Copies of this chain bind each other. A is one copy, B any other.
Amino acid sequence: MEPIGVIYTNHLEASGTPIQPTAARESLGKIIIHKELESGLKDLDGFSHIILLYFFDQVRQSKLLVTPFLDDIERGVFATRAPARPNPIGLSIVQLIKIEDNQITFSGADMLNNTPLLDIKPYVPSFDQQQVERIGWLENSVKRLSATSDDGRFLKD
């Protein structure tokens, strides 16, 4: 896997970075796609939302049990969105603002500045919106989302 480009945001360090795009609606980000891949962006401007898959390159841990930002109890890492995972791939669904040549502007930037981008996919409700019955440990804590931000806990070795 090689990055297809870089995500630039105003989040220069982990502490204070929003933990999901829904808590970062006013936070703009810019993607610069490697010039030789630019033709792969054709038709993307028709979508209002896109899925970004990126590499948590600042995270130095891989843990199986983590205390997520929204909780104070250790949870299995695959039951969380914490970055300290065996394969440190991040996923954010963001709103597309505009595309100019190989530059994409979006809102909902919840990743660190200089994050390596792995993939962009169109966000499609028929594919990506499921009727959910249960959200486990997040049932009670998800309401704290907008009041919670990264505190750098996963950057330490």
Contact = CB atoms under 8 A, between A and B. Distances in A.
Interface of A: 1-2, 4, 20-22, 37, 39-49, 51, 53, 64-65, 75-81, 85-87, 89, 91, 93, 95, 118-130, 132-139, 142, 145
A74 to B, nearest CB: 8
A119 B85 contact: yes
Contacts of A41: 76, 78-79
Contact of A53 (B77, B89, B95): B89
Contacts of A93: 127-128, 130
Contacts of A119: 78, 85-87, 89
Contacts of A65: 39-40, 42
Contact of A135 (B86, B95, B121, B122): B122
A112 B126 CA distance: 21
Contacts of A138: 122, 124, 126
Contacts of A79: 41-44, 46-47, 122
B76 A134 contact: no
Contacts of A21: 127, 130
